[in-house]
Amino acid sequence: MSFRDNLQHLRATRNMTQEQLAMLLGVSRQSVTKWEAEKSYPEMDKLLKLCQIFECSLDDLVQGDLTARVTETRAASVPAGPPTDVCGFDEHQRRLARQVPAGVAAILVGCGLGFLAEGRFALLGADADVLTIVLILLGVLVGLAFFIPAGMEHAAFVRAHPYVEDFYTEDDRVSARRSFTRAMVAGIALIFAGSVCIMVLGDDRATEREGLCLLMLFLAAGVWLIVRYGMLLGRTNVAEYNRSVAEDLEVEEIASAQVDEEVREALLERKRSGDRVAAVCGVIMIVATIVAFILLFAPVFSAGDPSSFRPEGTSAMWFWMSWVVGGLLCAIVSILMGAFGRRG
């Protein structure tokens, strides 16, 4: 008996559609179709998951004969209705929305405490700025303790799930937008409160440090709110996640991903398109850099006297403007190439 026959039988005994089985396994319906048509074979983790779903051994599923086994239909194990989160996407995004703003807030709090401690411990015989530097670096280290694991975890999740089916409802998106709106208002209010503190306390040299500390603490709270609920709102845009995956993965990782052929081709095309945009923008910025230095040293070339070089005035302005123009050209190129790429 073949794996295909066993799978079809087990699915039929539970009145389970291919879509429902796909949701339980975290794959697309087309993948299940290919398995039952013997056009492809599931990976080991999917086989083990099938064994758990249908309560059978791996040997029986792959090589045995399960068509004679009497299986009770258990509708409770079969998902119904709209797509569900089968890969833990929502939990992963919520965890990121805790780690990233916590890291940002930790750095700001460290800076605030450093400002407060500035010059306070000069009597200890050490440099007055040592404690300030230590507190700021401590805040940075705490922030990195949040950023680095979050980045590694997200990279691993993207490699494991290069494509996620959108399962959020319109109610989920409306709720996320409302929460973000409230968080934005509260965050801006906290930042304004910090600004008021520095304006009131900053005029007096004796209270300037307290004003700076309060500013950074209010800023940390405001930024935490805005970043956290902004990320929670962004998590509901699954289409944007699927588009951005191609930028994070290498071509080899996309080619070996366990996704439909159509999805794989779409990811590869986005990757190739992103590489083309990056190459064109790289050339633009190199040219902008060359033009910037030519404009900066143009007065020297015209005067023929190196001692006449003064990195200020009009030449310096054009020096920086070249990069601004280059950045704007990169943005225009990215938009145009993206638009024509989608049209093609």
Most confident range (mean pLDDT) of 59-68, 137-146, 233-242, 291-300 is: 137-146
| Architecture of the domain delimited by 3-77 | Orthogonal Bundle (1.10)
Confidence category of residue 275, pLDDT binned at 50, 70, 90: confident
Nearest of 129, 114, 6, 113 to residue 59 by alpha carbon: 6
Please report the DSSP string for 143-190 in residue order: HHHHHHHHHHHHHHHHHH-S-------HHHHHHHHHHHHHHHHHHHHH
Based on the number of CB atoms within 10 Å of its own CB, is 115 exposed (0-12), middle (13-18) or buried (19 or more)?
Answer: buried
d(CA 46, CA 310): 68
Q: 182 versus 337: which is more confidently predicted?
A: 182
Rounded to the nearest 10°, the torsion over CA 19, 24, 25, 29 is 10
Give the model's pLDDT for residue 266. Answer: 66
Give the model's pLDDT for residue 336. Answer: 76
pTM as predicted:
0.60
Over the chain, what is the mean pLDDT? 79
Confidence category of residue 75, pLDDT binned at 50, 70, 90: very low
Confidence category of residue 118, pLDDT binned at 50, 70, 90: confident
Rounded to the nearest 10°, the torsion over CA 83, 85, 86, 87 is 140
Give the model's pLDDT for residue 249. Answer: 60
d(CA 116, CA 213): 6
pLDDT per residue over 314-343, tens digit each?
555 666 777 788 888 888 877 777 666 554
Domain boundaries along the sequence of the chain: 3-77, 89-248, 260-343
Based on the number of CB atoms within 10 Å of its own CB, is 100 exposed (0-12), middle (13-18) or buried (19 or more)?
Answer: buried
The number of angstroms, rounded, from the C-alpha of 336 to the middle of its chain's C-alpha atoms is: 24
* Nearby residues of 34 by Cβ (< 8 Å), 6 or more positions away: 40
Give the model's pLDDT for residue 304. Answer: 56
Point out the least confidently predicted range of 18-32, 35-49, 107-121, 192-206: 18-32
Give the model's pLDDT for residue 16. Answer: 78
Confidence category of residue 176, pLDDT binned at 50, 70, 90: very high
Confidence category of residue 128, pLDDT binned at 50, 70, 90: low
Give the model's pLDDT for residue 177. Answer: 94
d(CA 272, CA 311): 41
d(CA 68, CA 55): 15
Give the model's pLDDT for residue 127. Answer: 53
Evaluate if residue 70 carries a pLDDT over 60.
no
Question: What's the whole-number mean pLDDT along residues 45-63?
Answer: 85
Evaluate if residue 154 carries a pLDDT over 80.
yes
pLDDT per residue over 208-252, tens digit each?
888 889 999 999 999 999 999 999 999 999 888 877 776 666 666
Q: 32 versus 91: which is more confidently predicted?
A: 91
Point out the least confidently predicted range of 118-122, 157-161, 172-176: 118-122
Give the model's pLDDT for residue 343. Answer: 45
Q: 80 versus 57: which is more confidently predicted?
A: 57
d(CA 235, CA 180): 12
Give the model's pLDDT for residue 344. Answer: 44
